[in-house]
Amino acid sequence: MQFLSGAKINCVFMALALCGCGLFGNKSLDIDGQRINVMAEDSALRPDFEAGKTKIKLPSPYTNHKWSQNGGNAMHLMGHLQASPKLKELWNEGFGEGSSKRNYLISVPVIAYGVVFAVDSDGIVTARRLDDGNQIWEKRLKPQNKEEKSSSLKGAGIAEFNKKIYITTGFGGVFCLDMLTGKTVWKKYLDTPIRIAPTVNSGRVLVQTFDNTLYALNADDGSELWKNITDYETTTLVGGASPAYDAKMDVIVAAFSNGELQAFKASTGTPLWSDMLVSHRRNNSLSTIDTIKANPVIDGDKVFAVGYNSLLAAIELRTGTRIWEIELGSTNQPWVAGNYLYVLTNNFELLAINKHNGKIIWNTSIPKGNDNDNKNGIFAAGPILVDNRLLVTTSNGYIFAVSPYTGEIISYVSTDEGIELTPIVADGTTIFTTNEAEMLAYK
């Protein structure tokens, strides 16, 4: 993706009512609010090398044709993505109900076979053409009984596998829909609400309920293959981590609200190992929350995972042995590409880390802007790596482009709506999902 500046960008985004400087131009930062240098307060996050002494070399960008589930694919490993050389507006369409005082939009859309699928906070699923945004079909997912109609987070997550769409809901329903028509293939109601998007691969649908029960369901008919019950926390964050699944290794890595990371043999559900991603150092007002909300990432024989409070670790996939760890907290999936890992902390610090030894190469503070009108605080999503840019979005309406090589904030744009969900990319098209349930598609 080429990031344009000046008049070209103003023309491109006038129709979308984007304001501020040109999108991803070279204009200097002029954001209302302070940039707080957290590194000065936390020496543990200082870079391990002098600026410019370590050169980052990334693999060349490639064009991915799918973003099939939360995290991009079942292992949450997407690498360096390619987009078109020129950026222009494709379409801007709403897909239902967004976030409100009761309901939260927590599910990123997915892209497969030239179609983008989304589920809103009220359990309405839509399919739209990726090239022009035209709607193909729409379906409302219904609770099992009248008592569940008031359930919040009706649309919890969505995934595509083998031309089927799989959706989890806040009222405990798991639905399999035909990709072409939206007709229900099967549905299954569990006893507990679901707040996490499913992971689907190799004929298995992995569903994690609010009480930390992990189900493996048959993707063809919804029958239960196995389940595992883990202790759960009553106080946690909205949403959660989708399990990572490596079909070749027959290993699933799941993260839970009590701060526990567990690995299972995918074919049988047999536990392989467990670890607690909880730091002994508590340094924030929500220090009693141990949840892991960020997706774990499987990369070869390693797992990279980060807890909210507050530990990032590299772990051997087969044995569960820790290779290295850094004391930091995040709700965002680490992004792995080549020999490097990028992670956005709870303190809005974006770090580049050598994935083999845990050494910090650079650390950049992402501006929060003015939070006077954000009673619940400001949240950020990302990063994702697209055509030599790390993209980060914020709930108060900023999109940042950051150099993956130096950490320099190249440019930014401010929008009329907040974006708390990670951007998605497929077939050279980037989609941003706003809190108001609008998809902004650029290519």
The pLDDT tens digits of the residues spanning 265-291 come to 999 999 999 999 887 654 544 456 678
Contact assessment for residue 341 and residue 304, using Cβ atoms and an 8 Å cutoff:
yes
> CB within 8 A of 285, min separation 6: which ones?
none
Give residue 87's pLDDT band: very low, low, confident or very high (50, 70, 90).
low
Answer whether residue 236 is part of any domain: yes
Answer whether residue 60 is part of any domain: yes
Residue 309 to residue 291: CA distance in whole angstroms: 7
Q: Would you state the pLDDT for residue 88? A: 82
Give residue 349's pLDDT band: very low, low, confident or very high (50, 70, 90).
very high
Give residue 51's pLDDT band: very low, low, confident or very high (50, 70, 90).
confident
Answer whether residue 1 is part of any domain: no
Q: Would you state the pLDDT for residue 370? A: 65
Rg (CA), the chain: 20
Residue 8: both structure tokens together: 């070209």
> Which tens digit of pLDDT belongs to each residue from 395-427?
998 999 999 999 999 999 888 889 999 999 999
Q: Token pair 């930014």 is at which residue? A: 412
Give residue 26's pLDDT band: very low, low, confident or very high (50, 70, 90).
very low
Residue 68 to residue 428: CA distance in whole angstroms: 15
- Which residue range forms the structural domain that includes residue 246? 6-442
Q: Would you state the pLDDT for residue 238? A: 59
Answer whether residue 430 is part of any domain: yes
Give residue 104's pLDDT band: very low, low, confident or very high (50, 70, 90).
confident
For residues 291, 293, 298, 302, the Cα torsion angle rounded to the nearest 10 degrees is -40
Say which range, 88-102, 140-154, 230-244, has the weakest mean pLDDT: 140-154
Residue 442: both structure tokens together: 């650029």
Q: Would you state the pLDDT for residue 106? A: 84
Pairing of strands 110-112, 115-119: antiparallel
Residue 259: both structure tokens together: 């701060």
DSSP state for residue 148 in the 8-state scheme = G
Amino acid identity for residue 145 in this structure = N
For range 65-73, the mean pLDDT: 97
Pairing of strands 135-140, 157-161: unpaired
Q: Which residues pair with 159 in a beta bridge?
A: 166
Q: Is the pLDDT of residue 213 over 60?
A: yes
Q: Coil, strand or helix: which one is 10?
A: helix
Q: Is the pLDDT of residue 343 over 80?
A: yes
33: left (phi over 0), alpha (psi -120 to 50) or beta: left
Q: Is the pLDDT of residue 181 over 80?
A: yes
Q: What is the CATH number of the domain that holds 99?
A: 2.130.10.10
Taking every pair of Cα atoms in the chain, the longest distance, rounded to a whole number of angstroms, is: 63
With b for 16 or more beta-carbon neighbours within 10 A and e for fewer, the 4-40 pattern comes to bbeeebeebbeebebebbbbbbeeeeebeeeeeebbe
Q: Would you state the pLDDT for residue 148? A: 57
Q: Coil, strand or helix: which one is 438?
A: strand
Q: Would you state the pLDDT for residue 39? A: 39
Domain count, the chain: 1
Give residue 264's pLDDT band: very low, low, confident or very high (50, 70, 90).
very high
For range 155-168, the mean pLDDT: 94
Residue 397: both structure tokens together: 């309406």
Q: Is the pLDDT of residue 386 over 80?
A: yes
Residue 45: both structure tokens together: 């996050």
| Phi and psi, residue 413, nearest 5° | -140, 150
Compute the mean pLDDT over every residue in the chain, rounded to the nearest whole number.
85
Element of type H or E holding 6? helix 6-13
Q: Coil, strand or helix: which one is 328?
A: coil
Q: Would you state the pLDDT for residue 309? A: 79
